Chain A
């Protein structure tokens, strides 16, 4: 069995890293109603959407076997791309949640904030 989803996870983690870097680059705002946390959340979800798109482009144009060499191998690969995309998205969100909980008092904590315990 071929582990075709492995590249999807690698891509998801790479994109998550990029989202983390960009989220960290967004500076803390002052004032009674700062919007910096919303921006970080937005970055997280934009990259969550970009993740399958990027993986799809990568899979079709770079990772997929040459159909002229082996049509069967190509078809088999294309067939599992949606599943890999889904695995990539799930990995992205799960690792995102874990990172957010680990760094809950930092900027990544804004991806999944704790509910108010008032």
Chain B
């Protein structure tokens, strides 16, 4: 039975892990797969979430035929080879009646005896002046006990609304469709959950998601059709603290709505407590199959740029740079989805991998991410996509606002390969846009802006990240003259050159002579064929031995 893949990304960190996951899909690590993705948050305006939605939207535009929004079809052995279906659910805390625990729980709205009991039980678990009254619009602010309670009931509340019928909002419709897919997949579902264990929303939600979904499916459908999380393969990351941010100041804390602000100096303690919880909680133990323990062994870097000295609690300004650990989390999902035929066990399995750290420097190699068996596959695909990005953004100046992909198609046209002339300018712009999000771009003021892979590499500096330092140039002049076939640390994977032919010339020769898409790549549209053609040309040039 073919397994159905589901990804759930929760909270700001979960969104950034999802970002890395989507880029793994773009490089072709999840060949021929259709993946259902649910983003789950409380902060509708969260910058990280917006960035991830934009990324998936651009991915789907790249895959769709012009004018369509269907996200294309799964392909094999090419770029953008997976089909991604995105569902967005968030719990709305934006209106005044629902913006604090106190308001949602309607404490003080019953008779005197009920009120007294409600208040007593609330006060027992949740600090009265702070936890019960801070503004929830930016998430649960590291108050995981509150978060788990509210997230669980938020999902059930949405399920009841769905059951009731009538006009549903987009979040409820998306949740309904996602749960329907999960239910119909039944035991063949593999579900991977991205989120941190040290923060707020992710940490609150990871433990309760499988059970909350079971209850929600029960409410929406009927008891006989309930799905059983104990039979479904659930995996997740146990992602402990790896970044810090400015400590909240007294001025900020004195505001009622900000009476609780996550303090990153407590993240190590939060992580420790969470790990103890995951180790001991019977529900987590019974529903999750595999948990990937991912952490940062050295002092966490501050990833935020807080210009006004206030802690950013969420919202559109929360756009943290990506970190190599998020790529590790995406690689964990790769392992989880690609483990063949494992049976659900009674007990959770914890996995981790050690990486080389010497003299204050990380030396990351491709097997550190995906294991030694798949290490070359990962390096080959990531290197190919990085070369593709530099062909479009650097060689053809797409990163600097020109039509990079269009320029490359023009070059093919001049080489009498006219198959791709029907791809419209608008379609080529979407490809440029995706590659900018992947690698880099220049702003209208000519300022360099790092994309995903540059941010990942920066997070481990001064250590090495798979490619040589030339692959990460950041000045316009250097990028224009970049040798796009000379990115690997191991020279045998750099494109060949000779006295009369540059590496790029050799690549174009191979592309035109040997790179034509093949039937088994399952590419149908002109754009898919174009992407497969470039993919093949680069793959041949990189000279990895096929495994």
B382 within 8 Å of A by Cβ? no
| B interface footprint on A82-118 (CB within 8 Å = 1, 0 otherwise) | 0000000000000000000000111101100110111
Q: How far is the CB of B7 from chain A (nearest CB, A)?
A: 36
A27 within 8 Å of B by Cβ? yes
Residue pair A118, B421 in contact (C-beta under 8 Å): yes
Residue pair A110, B413 in contact (C-beta under 8 Å): no
Among B407, B416, B501, B508, max chain A CB count under 10 A is at B416
Residue pair A27, B502 in contact (C-beta under 8 Å): yes
Interface size class of A (residues with CB under 8 A): 20 to 34
Residue pair B407, A37 in contact (C-beta under 8 Å): no
Residue pair A105, B416 in contact (C-beta under 8 Å): yes
Q: How far is the CB of B389 from chain A (nearest CB, A)?
A: 13
Which applies to chain B's interface (DSSP): helix, strand, loop or mixed?
A: helix
Q: Which residue of B lies closest to A110 (CB)?
A: B414
Q: Which residue of A lies closest to B400 (CB)?
A: A31
Residue pair A32, B504 in contact (C-beta under 8 Å): no
How far, in whole Å, are A32 and B401 apart by their CA atoms in the complex? 11
Q: How far is the CB of B255 from chain A (nearest CB, A)?
A: 52
Residue pair A105, B415 in contact (C-beta under 8 Å): yes
Among A28, A30, A37, A113, max chain B CB count under 10 A is at A30
How far, in whole Å, are A113 and B512 apart by their CA atoms in the complex? 15
User: Can you report 13 A-B residue pairs in the complex whose CB atoms are below 8 A from each other?
Assistant: A25-B500, A28-B502, A28-B508, A30-B407, A30-B411, A31-B396, A33-B410, A37-B414, A104-B416, A105-B512, A106-B415, A110-B414, A116-B421
Task: List, in ascending order, chain B residues with CB within 8 A of A32's CB.
Answer: 396, 402-403, 406-407, 410
Q: Which residues of B392-419 are within 8 A (CB) of A? A: 394-397, 402-403, 406-408, 410-411, 413-418
A21 within 8 Å of B by Cβ? yes
Q: How far is the CB of B168 from chain A (nearest CB, A)?
A: 46
How far, in whole Å, are A36 and B411 apart by their CA atoms in the complex? 10
Residue pair A31, B414 in contact (C-beta under 8 Å): no
Q: How far is the CB of A26 from chain B (nearest CB, A)?
A: 9
Residue pair B500, A34 in contact (C-beta under 8 Å): no
Task: List, in ascending order, chain A residues with CB within 8 A of B307's CB.
Answer: none
Residue in A27, A33, A109, A116 whose CB lies within 8 Å of B415: A109
